[in-house]
Structure 1
């Protein structure tokens, strides 16, 4: 059986004008993963969403890997959902980033506040009770991610592949393969670490999740590299 290595992107630039780029720590995480993959994995192909953080993660992995990897082929269906739109439907005032920054700065632990609001916002989105308020519904998101998984298997032609994507698509794929509830998928999404690796074994139509959210490469190098947002 061949393997699909689902990689969550390195840490993005939370709170910056351009969130969709790796932070310095995100670049380091990618390089650590590249060193860990070297000598273990020789991919036939490399895929990723077409977001900046997906592409930069592959660039960081390649730097650590020490030799050229196949060019990344962009698959739009592997993109993350619009997480800020989901949050803003829960907290409309946060459409103004200055208000959001003010509210978070007033909280003793800003990251915890964001996580609390994010979980509430995700529950609202997943419920399906407000679908008309979102550009992409939860059900639509799941369908495009699973369609992209089918597309990857077709492209891979039986070989091992690396996939740079985001936590949402990884959680949805795990949910699909394990036949989990939406609530379980949300719980899984909350614990996926930056540059963690989840592995799918596949052969023809057979697909099995063999590893979920492995970030031991970061822990082995420096536990401080482990981040979840």
Structure 2
């Protein structure tokens, strides 16, 4: 039986000009995950990244903690179908102020609890995208995103079913794959996505033609090895 580890990237740079970069804490989260795997003598036959900068930064930082002999025969693959949906576009279509950093910052600051306000805004933006009534306004529709996530997972269904693969991807991808495996409703995908920790790990067991969930959103490595505040969700 093979294993597939789906890793959400480390904390990115939300609010910065370029979101697709790990924050300092994001790098630390990736290091802690790598140390966890090194301590448990975990080896990987294949490393897959979703093609985004934050995916590769997380992968490079994490895998650098493993002993070099453990990586000697590891295959590295980039698969763009494991890339995240365009959260910038999803937010912008629902809230035009998101396109102007100053205006958006002022909008959030006008709320008593900016973090909660952002959560409500993101939920509403996701509902609009997933509802299907405005598909012509999005570069990638929700059904198209869902199909490519499943397609990416199915590409891991290789004859070498006893291989161990680690995939560095994003929360939206992982949540959508859980929908596929567990039969979740669309609104549950949105709720699950909001709860996935940065550098949290979801483990699948794999036989040819079959994927089974082993555990979801494990971040024990951050709690055990990290300092207070190491567990983040944004």
TM-score, normalising length from structure 1?
A: 0.95
Distance in 2, matches of 1:140 and 1:55, equals 24
Report the equivalent of 1:54. 55
- 1:127 is aligned to 131
Aligned to 2:31: 31
Matches within 5 A, 1:181-192: 181-192=185-196
Equivalence for 2:20 = 20
Partner of residue 224, structure 1 = 229
Contact in 1 for aligned 2:21/2:53 (Cα 8 Å): yes
Are 1:74 and 2:92 counterparts?
no
What do the CA deviations read for 1:21-40 (whole angstroms, capped 9, x no partner)?
10000000000000111134
Residue equivalent to 1:194? 198
1:3 touches 1:161 (CA, 8 Å); kept in 2? yes
Deviations 1:82-138 (A, max 9, x none): 001101111012211221122223334333222211011001111111111111110
Q: CA RMSD in A?
A: 1.5
SS in 2 for 1:161: strand
* TM-score normalised to structure 2 length: 0.93
Q: Deviations over 1:5-52 (max 9, x none)?
A: 000000001111111010000000000000111134211000011100
Q: Is the 8 A contact 2:159 2:208 kept in 1?
A: no
Q: Counterpart of 1:94? A: 98
Contact 2:2 2:161 in 1 (8 A): no
Gaps of 5+ in 2: none
**CA separation in 1, counterparts of 2:29 and 2:204?**
22
Q: Matches of 1:155 and 1:116 in 2, distance apart?
A: 44
Asked if 2 retains the 8 angstrom alpha-carbon contact of 1:80 and 1:166, the reply is: yes
Distance 2:46 2:178 in 1: 21
> Aligned equivalents of 2:8 and 2:145: distance in 1?
17
Partner of 1:104: 108
Q: 1:157, CA displacement in angstroms?
A: 4.9
Secondary structure in 2 matching 1:64? coil
Unaligned runs of 5+ in 1: none
1:3 paired residue number:
3
Alpha-carbon distance, 1:213 to partner: 0.4
In structure 2, distance between residues paired with 1:30 and 1:9:
8
Sort the Cα spacing of 1:18 and 1:71 in 2 relative to 1 into closer, same or farther, 3 A. farther
Matched residue SS, 2:18: coil
